[in-house]
Structure 1
């Protein structure tokens, strides 16, 4: 069952070593981190919240904000009843606040259309705002104990090394990657723990840099057997943060989160004095994403707090000109959305036509 076999990976067929689920599950049971969203009393909604927050954000930053969030809004209906601005403030410095907006939209749909209960079917989960392939399967697996493949960056790395003998997983392919992991799933009730264990193994031991092979629980690893051949992929440039549109967006959001009333353009301008064109671009993208609104008198506020903005009123761009409006809809999840992917606005919210220059923000 766990011996040698042939698995098609990429364009080449390679002899593959399988992973013994018993080794992964046994190791996970011994060393698993005591994360609050893994505890048995946690609801499917609370697991969903953790999955939204953990997209592109380290566990250490997520945990305190997740605890505060769940204490304040333990159910979808509680989150849906909150104002969008309150949700954006509670998201704080987790970064990529479009996730917070989508989480609020997701809560609204679950409360209104699913009886305040998170769906357990993957296909139904995929219809929710902000829920993509990974998040849908993670909820089905970790909240409802379903034997479905859950594939993140850590899992892809473990499988690439242990099964295919490759230093890294290369470009992602949802169909191929999910098939790889599905072939490894045990056919008993340990499948969810196996999935969690693969993720933990990639996060703690089989890391991208300096893997701790000496403490790896796997008795068979194709990469180790091959002598740890180095990666042949081009070295990825480390994404900088300082000076990016993402940083500027974060500075502007900081000003708005700190105020309980709309702010003037002058108050926003002082948040970034280095490059006024970049600041304009960042503010325009926040307007397009529906994270920021502009009032009739030209001030700016978090979504839902543009007190003077009448229904259907046109929006001004960052340079003060009036712009036509349109509604936007997108159901991809934050972590999986490609550069330039559209952002789902609040249902029926009219937004400026300006194209987005940045797909993320601090």
Structure 2
């Protein structure tokens, strides 16, 4: 079976969620911010933060001029705050190297701090209208099921995944943009990892996995996200919340009252550039 690209684009036109970065006139800078924020973070949590960042820092130069402390406070509870520092560095690079304009070329995008294969192509396609395959976790799962007929994708491989998606792209630039976005949307809301809604999927008539009877995954165990409760990720988040909420340095003892293992957590945050020793204790980096 072959994947029905027209079914994907037709469905997306009718059913796409109304998200800020999909609206006409949304800036390339906003697209880059949203793509970095959306990594491992739910859409509903990202939307208000993206909108607030663009009000506060409408251009890369505006963000580059902000302090790291302000950027980390504005990041709030999105998680994985090293992404905030990457965005800050990315903004400085765009302002200095590209005249405050987000580049269109994939290689130039890849040279920016914090920008990888997926983000570079997503910005090139969704912000600038370029023709490139955009492959995230959701797209890989749709390709595995609809094209390969298996329940779960193999480990990520740019050498395999990008050509597989590229071979399916419509020739028309607008159609390929919609196809890229539609495949992501199908994976996010219909062809989910644990509870696919096959009866609602526009690919149900051409899906190789459905045609085979939706066989169970028979490969290596799918890696699951470790539990958050009681993890160092949770402890790091609590320490960061304390630092964000304070206008003055906090002592290790004060932080330990909130997070018993604060001393060890602070060492890791310092290595990652997320916390700094200050007179009187610990604070966000300047």
Give the whole-Å Cα distance in 2 for the aligned partners of 1:235 and 1:162.
Answer: 19
Contact kept, 8 Å, 1:263 with 1:301, in 2: the verdict is yes
Give the whole-Å Cα distance in 1 for the aligned partners of 2:28 and 2:248.
Answer: 35
Does residue 261 (structure 1) correspond to residue 232 (structure 2)? The answer is: no
Structure 1 partner of 2:214: 228
Contact kept, 8 Å, 2:252 with 2:263, in 1: the verdict is no
Higher strand fraction: Structure 1 or Structure 2?
Answer: 1
Shift of 1:280: 2.7
Does residue 287 (structure 1) correspond to residue 270 (structure 2)? The answer is: yes
Give the match's secondary structure for 2:32.
helix
Give the whole-Å Cα distance in 2 for the aligned partners of 1:48 and 1:22.
Answer: 27
Which residue of the other structure, out of 276, 281, 284, is the alignment partner of 1:299?
281
Give the match's secondary structure for 2:216.
coil
Do the aligned partners of residues 55 and 235 (structure 1) sit closer, same or farther apart at CA in structure 2, a change above 3 Å counting?
A: closer
Structure 2 partner of 1:51: 35
Give the whole-Å Cα distance in 1 for the aligned partners of 2:223 and 2:169.
Answer: 31
Give the whole-Å Cα distance in 2 for the aligned partners of 1:284 and 1:196.
Answer: 40
Which residue of the other structure, out of 181, 186, 192, is the alignment partner of 1:196?
181
Give the match's secondary structure for 2:276.
strand
Give the whole-Å Cα distance in 2 for the aligned partners of 1:18 and 1:124.
Answer: 34
Contact kept, 8 Å, 1:290 with 1:303, in 2: the verdict is yes
Which residue of the other structure, out of 162, 171, 175, is the alignment partner of 2:155?
171
Q: Deviations over 1:151-205 (max 9, x none)?
A: 0010000000000000010211111011110111111121111000000011111
Q: Which runs of 5+ in 2 are unaligned?
A: none
1:15-164 to 2 correspondence within 5 Å? 17-164=1-148
Which residue of the other structure, out of 207, 210, 219, is the alignment partner of 2:195?
210
Contact kept, 8 Å, 1:134 with 1:150, in 2: the verdict is yes
| TM, length-normalised to structure 2 | 0.96
Give the whole-Å Cα distance in 1 for the aligned partners of 2:185 and 2:196.
Answer: 13
Which residue of the other structure, out of 229, 237, 254, is the alignment partner of 1:242?
229
Aligned residue pairs, count? 283
Higher helix fraction: Structure 1 or Structure 2?
Answer: 2
Shift of 1:281: 2.5
Q: What is the Cα-based RMSD across aligned positions, in Å?
A: 1.1
Give the whole-Å Cα distance in 1 for the aligned partners of 2:4 and 2:65.
Answer: 46
Structure 2 partner of 1:10: none
Q: Return structure 1 stretches of 4+ with deviation > 6 angstroms.
A: none
Shift of 1:282: 1.5
Shift of 1:238: 4.6
